[in-house]
């Protein structure tokens, strides 16, 4: 191939890369503005030009999830984690959230279990597992999960104590609920969580 032909090919590639980038940026901006139809169009155009880019597909899945197009979102997320589960660990949380939204908590726990296998020290995994167990009324497992989240990330201590208190309240363990709400409030009395538990940790 002659130099002139190489330059033409290089310029064409650069133009395509620029178009892809612009479509992606347009999609992100539309998503942020909750203009989901335009976000879908932009991400699809980016995918057409670069079908191997899983990040574009991920954000199309996010958009579908925001639109309550749950089946389409799940198909995208599951396809992504099948191909690159480590890189797209975040997609497991999206899968779990979609299942939880449909009250399919066992499936949510399965997705979170896969995330735990990849990153067993990820505090968010256990926080989300706690919510799912709580919804299933498996209260002790929920509490264990919240405590594990707190152990892995001390910044989640107030959130964990609050959730343990709420779980204990649901389980009618009122003394434990009051104790945990009091602990949550003591960590930082100025937070929204602390203010929310004031009526409970006084009983």
Quick one: pLDDT at residue 200? 54
166 closest CA partner among 155, 156, 179: 179
Q: In this predicted model, what pLDDT tens digit does every residue of 130-177 receive, in sequence order?
A: 999 999 999 999 999 999 999 999 999 999 999 999 999 999 999 999
95 closest CA partner among 120, 51, 125: 125
User: What is the pLDDT of the chain when averaged over all its residues?
Assistant: 91
CB 105 within 8 A of CB 141: no
Quick one: pLDDT at residue 192? 81
CA distances from 138 to 51, 129, 145, 149, 171 (A): 42, 11, 11, 17, 9
**Confidence label for 42 from pLDDT (cuts 50, 70 and 90):** very high
CB 96 within 8 A of CB 111: yes
Quick one: pLDDT at residue 4? 42
Helical residues (DSSP H) of the chain, grouped into ranges? 3-32, 36-49, 54-66, 70-83, 89-101, 105-118, 123-135, 139-152, 157-170, 174-187, 192-196, 198-201
Q: In this predicted model, what pLDDT tens digit does every residue of 181-196 receive, in sequence order?
A: 999 999 988 788 777 7
- Greater confidence (85 vs 202) lies with 85
- Greater confidence (79 vs 200) lies with 79
């Amino acid at each position: 191939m002659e130099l002139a032909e190489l330059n033409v090919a290089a310029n064409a590639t650069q133009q395509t890369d620029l178009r892809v980038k612009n479509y992606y940026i347009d999609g992100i901006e539309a998503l942020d503005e909750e203009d989901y139809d335009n976000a879908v169009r932009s991400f699809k155009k980016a995918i057409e030009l670069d079908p191997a880019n899983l990040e574009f597909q991920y954000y199309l899945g996010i958009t579908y999830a925001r639109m309550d197009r749950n089946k389409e979102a799940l198909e995208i997320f599951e396809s992504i984690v099948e191909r690159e589960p480590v890189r797209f660990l975040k997609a497991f949380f999206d899968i779990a959230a979609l299942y939880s939204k449909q009250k399919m908590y066992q499936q949510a726990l399965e997705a979170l279990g896969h995330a735990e296998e990849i990153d067993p020290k990820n505090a968010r995994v256990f926080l989300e597992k706690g919510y799912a167990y709580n919804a299933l009324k498996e209260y002790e497992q929920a509490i264990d999960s919240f405590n594990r989240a707190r152990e892995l990330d001390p910044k989640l201590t107030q959130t964990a104590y609050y959730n343990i208190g709420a779980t204990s309240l649901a389980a009618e363990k009122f003394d434990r609920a009051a104790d945990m709400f009091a602990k949550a409030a003591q960590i930082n009395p100025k937070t929204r969580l602390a203010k929310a538990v004031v009526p409970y940790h006084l009983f």
